[in-house]
Structure 1
Amino acid sequence: MSKHPFKIEICVEGTDGLIAAQNGGADRAELCASLFEGGLTPSLGVIREAVRVGTIPFHVIIRPRGGDFLYSEVEFNAMLADIKAIRDMGDVAGVVIGCLTADGSIDETRTKALVEAARPMKVTCHRAFDMTRDYRVALEALIRCGVDRVLTSGQRDTAVEGSAILKDVMAIADGRIVIMACGELDANNIAQVRRDTGVDEMHFAAPKTLKSAMAFRNPHVGMGGTAIEREYEITVTDTEAVRATIAAANAAL
């Protein structure tokens, strides 16, 4: 049984996503850029605007690039600088981090440094945890580092597939760190995952694609190597999907 109040966090891209999440009844949001790459650090302008329009707490992802979680010294210094700048704003509830060593372990030295730089904000470890060699060892490392919560799909692509590990992680944590489940959660499966695992919190995105309002479209250019069609599509957070999924989670118990 969870020793923490149950909460729902929505992963959003930008301030419009934050507004959609809070309108849908979310308890908290994870603020990102580039969800296409799994989430990157948004600009300071986006974060300041989120502070202005936000009515729920939000945590900012600290991830300087896509790909793995083995960072160079320059990348790590950028992460520290981003955390300090966000901390100094004074109105951001938390940050979301994750650093690994080449052998698939939590990088405790760097994680501790990021946690210390973030305080008094809360600190979540993102799904870098799912890329570790041994989730039991990794969980104890995060607890030693003072991390407040871990986001995990149970080291599988989806929370449904990872339910057995999520349940085990909850037992190992025993209230010492918040366990937040994620991984393709929606209104059709979130209740079952909650019942099967007993996790403290749950996290999902609710994207939908809108057609661009651009009247003029250059058929000869695709930016960033994407298909031409993608240039004229916008991914947003679906408020109704947020509301429906939260309702399903709350009806689970």
Structure 2
Amino acid sequence: MENIHNLVKFDRVTDKPLSGRIRGSFNTTQKDAHGHVVSDKLYPEYIESMKQHPERRIVSIHHNRDDPMGEILWAGIQEEDDVTHLVGEVGLYEDIEHREDEIDRLGGFSVSLVGYENTKEEAWNPNQINFRYLGLGEDYHQLKEAISEKGVPARLEVQKSAEGAFIVDVVANNIPLLIELALVAYTINRERKESNKEHDTTPEIVVNEMQINLKDKELPDFLEQLSDAVGENIGLDPEQAEVLMEALEDDDAKVEFEVKSEDE
């Protein structure tokens, strides 16, 4: 276990006997054989998620939860040259010994990061979602902080994909809150553009089932589409929106604005 830090050894999830162990990489900051990348800033979150939710340590064949092959015994972070890996060891269940050839052909392991803010998994109702953000894994902490501060129920997921796709589903109970979340998402992506970070993903938000592309979107066009999505005149011109976005980045700021009805 050389050069491995943040290592956590897990209690067994089941009492099934093990026939062997496989050590490998769950995520890496360099594109793997499938072209997948996940930011190493999220690796501690992955480990904590596995620690808090034992069921997420069960490893299945071909993502089929009804076909478990084993469970993760430990996980940690390994530095290797300029690449960082989320590594671990999987204990193989004895009752899958006859499938060794199939397991040998597997291209690697896949671990998703799923978490809930201001709600519990068992209370989560996907039918109430009225805001979705699809972006990059590196956006995780910024969106999570904004959602936590506002106290809205949300489900956050980082998938193992081309650039660590990040999906946030939120149940926002009023229009000003929808607008604030949309502006936070817009700010994140504008800052990424200004820093000249290249990426192939097209970030977007979905508000009340209306899709709004955030990549290279000018602020006036964004505000117009946002008004259409919420079904109200949101009462913000670009200059006012800039002030509001700046205030939203200030943890101590009190943000107030009025949503106007269409006939005003």
Q: What's the TM-score once normalised by structure 1's chain length?
A: 0.23
Structure having the larger proportion of residues in strand? 2
Q: Which structure would you say has the larger Rg? A: 2
Larger relative contact order, structure 1 or 2 (CA cutoff 8 Å, min sep 6): 1
Q: What's the TM-score once normalised by structure 2's chain length?
A: 0.23
